Amino acid sequence: MTPVKLYPAKPEKVYLFGTCLIDLFYPEAGMDVVLLLEREGIEVIFPDDQTCCGQPAYTSGYHDEARRVAAAQLDLFAEPWPIIVPSGSCGGMMRTHYPQLFMNSERQEQAEAVASRIFELTEFLVHVCHVRLADRGEPQRIAMHTSCSARREMGLAETGPKLLQQLSNVTLVEQVRSAECCGFGGTFAVRHPEISAAMVADKGVAIEAAEAEHFVTSDCGCLMNIDGHLQHEKRALRGEHIASYLWRRTA
């Protein structure tokens, strides 16, 4: 179980770790994260030398390679500001696995310090910013898929839905087996494509069956998987990163 986290007061500045998937495929979601944070009066620092958290290599067992990449990221956050990660999976990697990767090494202290400053975006908005959202959008039925890393590794099953529930015109519907994995799992989708496909097919059906008009996730891996599958199957239902949805409806 994730230990109880004591949340700090709202800071003046934060770092943004954009994640490689957002950087390459969903940069607009990254910009929406910046806008959401700035609206809370927080200055967002985006270290230009950030690349990838190292998770793909880590989960594939290539820990030496992952460690070198992770070490390069550790050096980017010199000031004691919180580090916002708009992904439970990268956030979980940095919070949980960085200390494991650097245990008993000269970077142990640095890794633990960085880990303690990692916040997943929805967690930060709810627990640190205590954000209040004013909905300006049309009525809509929406489903949320919380990533397994956010839900289980970071213990954040509630923060995404809490934000959506603040949107007065939005009805949050719950798909059956909402806590079940969408089948992405990084390299799992490539190493075991058929099993992964069976999982994402079920996830798509479940979200549709909940009569959602749209869905959001807090992880671009799940988004790429579920949305990519629905597009492949020529379904009308589309998804987006929760940051984009929140910004669009409240801007």
Partner 1 sequence: MSQPATAKSSEETLQGGAATPEVQIFDPRHFHQQAHDALGNPQIRGNFRKAMDGLMQKRRDAFVEWDLETLRQLGANVRSRALAKLPDLLEQLERNCQANGIQVHWAEDGDEACRLIRELCESRGAKRLIKGKSMVSEEMHLNAHLEEAGIEALEADLGEYLVQMAKETPSHIIMPAIHKNTSEISELMHDKTGIERTLDADTLTAAAREQLRQRFMTADVGLSGVNFAVAETGTLCLVENEGNGRLTTTVPPVHIAVTGIEKVVEHLQDVAPLYALLTRSATGQAVTTYFNMISGPRKAEEHDGPREVHLVLVDNGRSRIYQDDELLDTLRCIRCGACMNHCPVYTRVGGHAYGTTYPGPIGKILMPHLLGLDATRDLPSASSLCGACGEVCPVKIPIPDLLVRLRKEAVGEGRGNVPGAGVKRSVKEVTAWKSWQWLATHPVFWRLGTGMAGRFRALSPGHLPPWTDYRVAPRPASKTLHAMMRERRRTEKNS
Nearer to partner 1, 212 or 226 (CB): 226
Write the CA distances from 232 to 3, 113, 192, 226, integer angstroms: 40, 42, 18, 10
Which residues are 118's β-sheet partners?
83
Interacting residue with partner 1 among 63, 141, 162, 235 (CB under 8 A): 63
CA 91 to CA 240: how far, in whole Å?
19
Pattern 19-38, binding to partner 1, x per CB under 8 A? ---xxxxxxx-xx--x----
222: number of CA atoms within 13 Å, CB side?
Answer: 30
Interacting residue with partner 1 among 37, 42, 57, 85 (CB under 8 A): 57
- Stretch of 7-15, 46-54, 113-121, 241-249 lying at the interface with partner 1 (CB under 8 A): 46-54
Write the CA distances from 58 to 33, 55, 61, 129, integer angstroms: 26, 5, 5, 31
Nearer to partner 1, 195 or 251 (CB): 195
Structure tokens at 81: 């500001």
Burial class of residue 9, CB neighbours in 10 A (0-12, 13-18, 19+): exposed
Nearer to partner 1, 18 or 170 (CB): 18
Q: How far is the CB of 171 from partner 1 (least distance, A)?
A: 25
CA 27 to CA 202: how far, in whole Å?
28
Q: How far is the CB of 31 from partner 1 (least distance, A)?
A: 6
What is the contact surface with partner 1 in residues (CB under 8 A)?
A: 1, 18, 22-28, 30-31, 34, 46, 48-52, 54, 56-65, 68-69, 72, 148-149, 151-153, 179-181, 183-201, 224-225, 228-229, 231-232
